[in-house]
Chains A and B, each alone.
Chain A
Amino acid sequence: MKSLGRIWNALANPDRIPRLYAVMLGIVLIVGFLIPLALNDHQLYPKPAPQSQINAHNPLAPYDRGGTLFQERGIVKAQYPQFAPAIGEVTAYLSPIAILVKKTTLYFGTSIYSSPGGLIDEILYYTRGFDTVLESSILMMAFTIASWVALNFTMRRKED
């Protein structure tokens, strides 16, 4: 019992908790290598075969979803199509700058021009739009905390 108390006392030190957590996570991940890699072929958000669009010299590769703006729907799948009535309609939109770049280079799809004025990822902004809202709120809170800590603890030390 005495040694158990020592273990508890050692664990009560906040410095040791990250190490303990990292060791446990490492054990789970190593055990995870033993688990058979069973992937599902019927993915909710399918992608074209790797390199197929690049080999076809498509400048939008690997993000080309086809379709014509407001006329023909592109290939975008949703889990609940009944909740996304306009899916695929604007996925082919390109801004004038994006069209210009698309004509000059084969690598538009992987360049920085591809967003936000270029390809519109409808999975990101339409079917799973709330995720994007949450991601930006996480970023906003991180910047709020970092700037508050910097302003009050780092830059005004002499006032303390």
Chain B
Amino acid sequence: MDASLFGALGGQLLGIIPLGDIVFYFTPLNLFMCAAALAFTFLIAISQTESQVEAEFGSLHDREVKVEKKEFKIRRFLAIVCGLATAGAMVTGDLFDFTLFVCLIGIVNIGIVAAVKQVDVLDAAYQYGLIAMIASLPLFGGASLILASAGTISLLQLVQLSYTTPMMALGSILVFMGVAGESGVAPFFATKAEMFRTPGSPFLLIIHLSSLLVIVRMIEILLIINKPF
């Protein structure tokens, strides 16, 4: 691997972790996003759930709304897995590996949304599950189109290609649609279901963070494949 090629990756290459054909690589941007995801995951792992105090109507009593320990534990577990998957998606140097990380984020997001015991939230989780299922088609289909048209799906090799065929552009757009469906629409459903005001909410913020980071990374991958500049 030639050191001069890594300028196109969007920064100086700080190091790689080789796992066979799947090579994790670190540029300053990737490393920063990965570290942000890991730091937030650590904060989630040590945080307690928040409980709300509701004023009762017609009396002077207050009612404390708490989350059961069981529900708290499953949501914290899913949030931690989501954070780790986000951190992995930031540094992976393989397109198919990236789609798998995004698929893991999507599955876990559905779980976080679905673990709330409220009917409205479960309705929203059902709709989100439908989108995530539809989105797995363009996600993996786009990655396989890029493999078929470029002959490789390693980002470190794709960045060295001097051409972009229309097929590769279509594949990257399909991957983008898939990422939008798996992770991009998650904050919409979480917000529509008013999950950020339900008890035990701080874990849900990982949905927002993972969605933001994954979209930024997806745009970086679009630039790597299509080379518009």
Contact = CB atoms under 8 A, between A and B. Distances in A.
Interface of A: 12, 14-15, 17-18, 21-22, 24-25, 28-29, 32, 35-44, 78-80, 83-84, 126-131, 134-135, 137-138, 141-142, 144-145, 148-149, 152-153, 160
Given A78-B21, A83-B21, A17 B188 contact: yes
B200 interface: no
B21 A128 contact: yes
Interface in B126-183: 127-128, 130-131, 134-135, 137-138, 147-154, 157, 165-167, 170, 173-174, 177, 180-181
Given A15-B127, A22-B134, A28-B174, A40 B149 contact: yes
Contacts of B137: 25
Nearest to B106: A138
B22 interface: yes
B101 interface: yes
B100 A138 contact: yes
Q: Closest 7 A-B residue pairs measured CB to CB?
A: A145-B111, A40-B151, A83-B18, A134-B100, A127-B20, A18-B130, A79-B21
B222 interface: no
Given A17-B188, A22-B134, A130 B22 contact: yes
B22 A128 contact: yes
B185 interface: yes
B218 interface: no
Contacts of A141: 78, 81, 104, 107-108, 111
Contact of A18 (B123, B134, B166): B134
Given A15-B127, A39-B148, A44-B152, A131 B100 contact: yes
Contacts of A18: 127, 130-131, 134
Interface in B19-39: 19-23
B-side interface mostly? helix
B193 to A, nearest CB: 8
Given A39-B148, A80-B21, A127-B21, A28 B117 contact: no
Contact of A80 (B23, B108, B181): B23
7 contacts: A18-B130, A21-B185, A25-B137, A44-B152, A78-B20, A78-B21, A148-B115
B114 interface: yes
B203 interface: no
A43 B151 CA distance: 4
Contacts of A38: 149, 165-167
B189 interface: yes
B214 interface: no
A25 B134 contact: yes
Given A130-B97, A152-B70, A39 B21 contact: no
A137 B111 CA distance: 14
A28 B173 contact: yes
B103 A35 contact: no
B100 A135 contact: yes
A31 to B, nearest CB: 8
Nearest to B68: A152
Nearest to A42: B151
A42 B19 CA distance: 23
B66 to A, nearest CB: 16
Nearest to B22: A130
